Structure 1
Amino acid sequence: MKFNKKYTLDIAEKILKIDSPSGFTFHAIDFLKKEAERLGYKTSLTQKGNLIIEVEGKKKEGARGVCAHTDTLGLMVRSIKSDGKLAVTKVGGPIMNTLDGEYCRIYTREGKVFTGTILSTSPSIHVYKDAGTLQRDQDTMEIRIDEIVKSKEDVEKLGICNGDFIAIDTKTEITKSGFIKSRFLDDKLSVAILFSVLESMATNKIVPAKKTYFMITVYEEVGHGGSWIPMDIQELLGVDMGCIGLDLACTEYDVSICAKDSSGPYDYEMTNKLIEIAKKEKLSYAVDIYPMYGSDVSTALSSSNNIRGALIGPGVHASHGMERSHIQAVESSVKLVLEYIKQ
């Protein structure tokens, strides 16, 4: 089946531009829900806010699930400082030193949006002796708001409060050489992969072998995105970023098949099947162990769901920082998911 590169990159760019830190994902989910319905699929939302897209299969028994998450890392206002800057707390696990100097948006509970910059509390080499050496963490980082504010009271008058979400600018760019550079490819690139599969199925009238639930989750980065899944799912395939570095085999050009992560081994038969498909389809792939990693499938398995689980994803370099992948990895991932659900 021909890979629709234009659609895949277009949907990836669109969702990467929608701010959706964990707990503040409704704009992204609303967009994805409308896109799934435009493609002709039945959708529903869970109480938690996960998007469920149902695709009927040739067989009536033995449903499958395929999942990716649209929630991202972010920050939240911890408190307002006396000089009008914002103290922050992390949402998920961003590498804080990579955020120094990045632009951001502050979302108030009243629906207002303000821009700002994430900086260390020693932001100038001309003033602070420790400007280059200060440890960057959530206690030494703050938000400089792009408004005339000189006090806590000035900030409060804007409507900014403790608990407001702070979204980090993604700086998304797609190069002529096929690289996709952006924050939060983990896991919006995988969401684009699933929608590429859905688009291909709709365009080419492909019916999966079994009923398949495409699940877009919204709390993966904080550990409970996949805790509930439809009861008739017997096996769940997670699509999340593939790890790169140290002794790992995966590159930015591969679809990674994870045999084990920090939660333990994934299902042996499912993993074997994915490897067999990758070999048969001559995909660029790698099999790896992720030592410091968990997924929605990990959560589903630990939440007493009676399922088998496996995990794949495009190779992503510099995860939780300024991430990068390549269209070759995306294409191999799309083809692997599509062949998996057809069998």
Structure 2
Amino acid sequence: MNYQPNVQETFSLIKELVSIPSPSGNTTKVIAFVENFLKEYGLELKRNRKGGLIASIKGTNDKEHRMLTAHVDTLGAMVKEIKSNGRLKLTMIGGFRWNSVEGEYCEIETASGKVYSGTILMHQTSVHVYKNAGEAPRNDDNIEVRIDEKVSNADQVRELGIEVGDFVSFDPRVQLTESGYIKSRHLDDKASVAILLNIIKHIQSEKITLPYTTHFLISNNEEIGYGGNSNITPETVEYLAVDMGALGDGQSSDEYTVSICVKDSSGPYHYGLRKHLVDLAKQNNIEYKVDIYPFYGSDASAAIRSGNDIIHGLIGPGIESSHAFERTHESSIENTERLIYHYLLSEMVKY
């Protein structure tokens, strides 16, 4: 059955998703957005205790299940310390480098829900004052947040309601270009979440029957290592993580194809499922790349480490400059969406 994704709808969903702050540990708003989106399409929906969302579609075979996952949590930070000068020290949420957010606008959300804007800066930013502005290390000691409020000491900051432990999110700066790119922070992994949502919408709207009962886990702790390691039904045979393909020197992935990961820091992915995905791509004229990510882990990695007896795989759109100034092209979104669709309608791997 041929499927032509509506990439502009997927792009629109990505734009909405990345605009909702959701650093790991503070994902309630974005999970609620996904839940409200899916309610219209008549799926079985439930929240797990970790705050993730599971959407299920009953298939012809209800004895063997599939699970697909994409994560909606993102990189971010927490207030580590309120400095005597009214600035904030940060602690990272997720694996990135301070230089990738230096100069970025941010939001600080207090425990009461009040939000303040700010900018992430080096303490030694002004070249007119600090001779070593260019050479000073970008680290926990030197990076700080300048709050957009009239504060000059810690007491004034606390009077705003800001405290240690408050979440800090980064401005996504999302843009869609006429040349077919979307560039934004947090395409990892909200691009994949939008792809799954668009596929679910199509399946339910067209009343397509899946061959196997299929669960879609929108996980919310992947960036800190344990988003997709639970709530896997005993009937689940195949588990496919949908997450970004990492680009750079020595990588075969690009911004225009779907990336099929064969190995990451957790080891090889299931050989049979990997070959099945490649065969599906070839049969359906889907442009793909096979790749290895040396410094990477996924929800599928976490699921395997938790002792689940499953066949695991990983695919996703190619994302340039991961965990920093991310970008991908509409053709990568389209190829990824098509491969997932054909996978959902295919027979399981014989293990």
Deviation at 1:142, TM superposition (A): 0.3
Residue 317, structure 1, aligned to residue 324, structure 2: no
Query: Which residue identity lines up with residue 333 of structure 1 in the other structure?
Result: T
| CA distance, structure 1, for counterparts of residue 222 and residue 296 of structure 2 | 11
In structure 2, the partner of 1:44 is: 46
Residue 131 of structure 2 corresponds to residue 129 of structure 1:
yes
Give the partner amino acid of 1:239: V
Q: Answer with 1-10 or 297-306: which moved more.
A: 1-10
d(CA) in 2 for partners of 1:84, 1:56: 54
Residue 324 (structure 1) shift? 0.5
Aligned to 1:57: 59
2:246 and 2:253 in contact (8 A); partners too: yes
Q: How many Å apart are 1:100 and its aligned residue?
A: 1.0
Alpha-carbon distance between aligned partners in 1 of 2:126 and 2:49, rounded to the nearest angstrom? 46
Q: CA RMSD in A?
A: 0.8
Q: Secondary structure at the match of 2:200?
A: helix
1:16 maps to what in 2? 18
**TM-score, structure 1 as length reference:** 0.99
Whole-angstrom distance in 2 between the partners of 1:246 and 1:99: 22
Counterpart AA for 1:213: H
Residues 284-308 of structure 1: per-residue CA shift (max 9 Å, x gap) = 1000111110000000000011111
Structure 2 unaligned spans of 5+: 347-351
1:2 shift after superposition: 2.1
Shift of 1:40: 2.2
In the alignment, the residues of structure 2 paired with residue 111 and residue 94 of structure 1 have an alpha-carbon distance, to the nearest angstrom, of 26
Structure-1 separation of matches of 2:96 and 2:291 = 23
What is the letter of the counterpart of residue 48 of structure 1?
K
Shift of 1:128: 0.3
Give the SS at the match of 2:245. Answer: coil
Deviation sequence 1:254-313 (CA, Å, 0-9, x none): 100000101000011111100000111111100011111000000000001111100000
Q: CA deviation at 1:39?
A: 2.2
Q: Which residue of structure 1 aligns with residue 329 of structure 2?
A: 326
Report the Cα offset of residue 143 of structure 1.
0.3
Choose the corresponding residue for 1:263, options 260, 266, 274.
266
The 8 Å contact of residues 238 and 297 in structure 1, kept in 2 or not, is answered as yes
Distance in structure 1 (CA, Å) of the matches to 2:52 and 2:165 = 22
SS at match of 1:337: helix
- Partner Cα distance (2:179, 2:42) in 1: 33
Deviation at 1:98, TM superposition (A): 1.6
Please give the alpha-carbon distance, in whole angstroms, between the structure 1 residues aligned to 2:246 and 2:284: 22
In the other structure, the counterpart of 1:242 is 245
For 2:142, the equivalent position in structure 1 comes to 140
- AA at the equivalent of 1:267: H
Residue deviations 1:121-174 (CA, integer Å, cap 9, x gap): 101111101111111122210000000101100000000000000000000001
SS at match of 1:47: coil
Ranges of 4+ aligned residues in structure 1 off by more than 6 Å: none
Task: Quote the Cα distance in structure 2 between the aligned partners of 1:331 and 1:207.
Answer: 22
Q: Partner of 2:10: helix, strand, or coil?
A: helix
Q: What percent identity do the matched residue pairs reach?
A: 43
Q: Is the CA contact 2:84–2:153 (under 8 Å) kept in the aligned structure 1? A: yes
Match of 1:7 in 2: 9
Secondary structure at the aligned position of 2:276 is classed as: helix
Asked if 2 retains the 8 angstrom alpha-carbon contact of 1:318 and 1:324, the reply is yes
Mapping for residues 20-31 of structure 1, pairs under 5 Å: 20-31=22-33
Contact 2:48/2:231 (CA < 8 Å) preserved in 1? Answer: no
Q: How does 1:107-186 map to 2 (within 5 A)?
A: 107-186=109-188
Give SS of 1:246's match.
coil
Query: What residue number does 1:214 align with?
Result: 216
- Asked if the contact 1:72/1:184 (under 8 Å) is kept, the reply is yes
Match of 1:76 in 2: 78
- Which amino acid in the other structure matches residue 278 of structure 2? I
Contact 2:7 2:333 in 1 (8 A): no
> How far does the alpha carbon of each residue in 1:78-118 deviate from its partner, in whole angstroms, 9 at most, with x for none?
01000100010000112210211100000000110000000
Gaps of 5+ in 1: none
Equivalent residue, structure 2, for 1:187: 189
Q: Which residue of 2 aligns with 1:340?
A: 343
Are the counterparts in 2 of residues 74 and 94 from structure 1 also a CA contact under 8 Å? no
Report the equivalent of 2:100.
98
Greater CA drift, 109-118 or 229-238: 229-238
- Report the number of matched residues: 343
CA distance in structure 2 between the aligned counterparts of 1:160 and 1:115, rounded to whole angstroms: 12
